[in-house]
Structure 1
Amino acid sequence: MRKIKKNDNVLFFYNDSKKWLMKVTPKQKFHTHVGIIDHKKVIGKPFGSAIKTNKGKIIFALEPTIYDYVMKSQRGTQIVYPKDLGYIAARIGLQSGQKIVEIGTGSGSFTTFLASIVKPKGHVYTFDVDENFMAIARKNIEKAGMSKYVTMTKLDLKVAKKMPQKDVDAIIVDLGDPWVVVPQARKMLKGSGAFVAICPTMNQLENLASALRKNDFFDIECTEQIVRTIEAREGKTRHSFRAIGHTTYVAFARKVTTPASMRKIFAPVEPQEIESEDLDSTEDESLSSLKK
């Protein structure tokens, strides 16, 4: 069982809405509404240990996860929430050893998440143009211990003539106008590589989807992830009054290569409408399989 050492990051957990992520040092005392958290009380104890504040309240010293680093990151911009991060990782097949390009570093929370999965042999190359945001991102990435797996560069890829990377596994775009960098993303991606964009509005999705089709991207999917939490208590389980509603839309696509001689055959097509009879047949097939 790993014990807490001086300068370790610890998540002090009181309840779902009251928790604090900080580096522990022997002389540090943190004042909260539930009492003082004395750091020296947890140093040398195993992660998961309970301590008492001076007000007699119980607080647990937990080992932080990437979820905690993301949610507790210093924010200069809006972050991508874990509910979206998890689906993105599954949708693009994110795994250790991959090379990822991120256009728009923001607060670095997404960067941290990506690095935590592609490490130790993979790497994240992230680009931004705002030095203030980059300074915040650098601190968040360092705090999570991911600096070794991230290279941060000040570069505007919208106007760059030479692409900084090639044959990357996935490109993540978090810009207000993601469609502008679709051609640049195509140049950097390997064949069948994944393109992901964070889009707060549907207007952005429309413009982006059009640009993706024009630049030989297929398997285009636009989603919104909704999570509803449940207050599970004996005899009075109900939906939580607190919720994270709409945060963003997410667009996915994959790079393909279409020879000039085949372009007319594989011209971009609009998504097909699903006919009602198609839904009925799918439902019938599902029911028949259940009966078997």
Structure 2
Amino acid sequence: MNTFRWGEWVALTSQKGRKWLVRIEEGPYSSHLGTIQMEDVVGKEEGDYLDTNKGARMFLFRPTLEDYIFSMNRHTQIIYPKDLGAIIFYGDIQPGCTILESGIGSGALSLALLRALCGTGRLISVEKRPEFARKARENISKYFGANPPNHDIISADIQDFHMNLKADRIFLDLPEPWHAIASVSRLIRHGGLLLSLSPNVGQVQMMFKELKTHGFANITTFELLKRDWMVDERRARPIDRMVAHTGFITLAKRTPRLFIEGSSGE
């Protein structure tokens, strides 16, 4: 029986799905639904519930990575889960990979990549803004309970960055990622995958040009739209608002030779 223990995080969840991430420590926790005593969570199983002093029922769940990402402190907009899932799958992330990413933002992508690596391989995060690097390190350490030993955060400009090993995967989340292609093309092995996330189509076009120039092939770009539905005993319909465009994901493979202008790959 996997029960809650002191010091763990718990997602207090209302019957309507509202969530509060709270550490299990001595003392009360209050919301507009009322107050519960956090020591009462200890020994409860996941899925159990407590009633507040106002009679509201609060279910007890362990936070998912999505829960944590949306609750963590951040300087920047996070990469949404719909895009994180696509990046992990289309980036073919697996244990043992060596991954280079820039920039780190608030650490959402780093968390997803580290989870997918399962404690193996290596993640190197390059961030030129020290305050972003510090906040990301705090968020990542808070989630794992310590700094993961296979993760390095380096304060540097990716355009001037050098390393002795070759990356299997490179991820770019930068305002002008095309400026980094010349540099990172030397840091990725032949056959390696590069993924870039950009909000504007003009950025994608600039990326496409630079990727072709620096020896990348099989360049594809897509976006993902997520629409939730309202379902109960009486109705089933799309909700009025959706997570629509958040960014374009561009995927490319490194080749051992430069692209020949005018050649056809069809």
- Scaled by the length of structure 2, the TM-score of the pair is 0.93
- Measured in 2, the distance between the counterparts of 1:140 and 1:15 equals 28
Quote how far apart the aligned CAs of 1:72 are: 2.0
Counterpart contact for 1:99–1:118, Cα < 8 Å: no
**Aligned match of 1:267:** 261
Task: State which drifts further: 14-23 or 56-65.
Answer: 14-23
Larger Rg, first or second structure (1 or 2) = 1
Task: State which drifts further: 63-72 or 209-218.
Answer: 63-72
1:94 aligns to 2:93 (yes or no): yes
Unaligned runs of 5+ in 1: 273-292
**Aligned match of 1:62:** 61
Counterpart contact for 2:88–2:112, Cα < 8 Å: no
1:241 aligns to 2:237 (yes or no): no
More RCO (CA 8 Å, sep 6+): 2
**Aligned match of 1:157:** 158
Alignment of 1:32-43 (within 5 A): 32-43=31-42
**Aligned match of 1:133:** 132
- Scaled by the length of structure 1, the TM-score of the pair is 0.85
- Measured in 1, the distance between the counterparts of 2:262 and 2:72 equals 40
1:96-144 CA distances to partner (integer Å, 9 max, x unpaired)? 1211111101000111111011121122110111122122111210122
Quote how far apart the aligned CAs of 1:171 are: 0.6
Bigger proportion of residues as helix:
1
- Measured in 2, the distance between the counterparts of 1:170 and 1:81 equals 20
Quote how far apart the aligned CAs of 1:22 are: 2.4
1:9 corresponds to which letter in structure 2? Answer: W
1:12 corresponds to which letter in structure 2? Answer: L
- Tell me: CA distance 1:133–1:271, structure 2 relative to 1, closer, same or farther (3 Å): farther
- Measured in 2, the distance between the counterparts of 1:8 and 1:165 equals 39
Quote how far apart the aligned CAs of 1:17 are: 5.7
Alignment of 1:1-292 (within 5 A): 1-14=1-14, 18-27=18-27, 29-145=28-144, 147-148=147-148, 149-160=150-161, 163-258=162-257, 266-267=260-261
Identity %: 26
- Tell me: CA distance 1:70–1:15, structure 2 relative to 1, closer, same or farther (3 Å): farther
1:15-74 CA distances to partner (integer Å, 9 max, x unpaired)? 5662112221122x2221111132111112112211111111111111122222222222
Counterpart contact for 2:101–2:170, Cα < 8 Å: yes
Unaligned runs of 5+ in 2: none
- Measured in 2, the distance between the counterparts of 1:170 and 1:154 equals 19
Counterpart contact for 1:173–1:196, Cα < 8 Å: yes
- Measured in 2, the distance between the counterparts of 1:217 and 1:154 equals 27
Q: Secondary structure at the match of 1:204?
A: helix
**Aligned match of 1:282:** none
- Tell me: CA distance 1:233–1:183, structure 2 relative to 1, closer, same or farther (3 Å): same
Quote how far apart the aligned CAs of 1:186 are: 1.4
- Tell me: CA distance 1:97–1:44, structure 2 relative to 1, closer, same or farther (3 Å): same
2:211 corresponds to which letter in structure 1? Answer: L
Quote how far apart the aligned CAs of 1:197 are: 0.8
Counterpart contact for 1:66–1:116, Cα < 8 Å: no
Counterpart contact for 2:160–2:183, Cα < 8 Å: no
Counterpart contact for 2:15–2:59, Cα < 8 Å: no
**For this pair of structures, how many residues does the alignment match?**
264
- Measured in 2, the distance between the counterparts of 1:36 and 1:75 equals 27
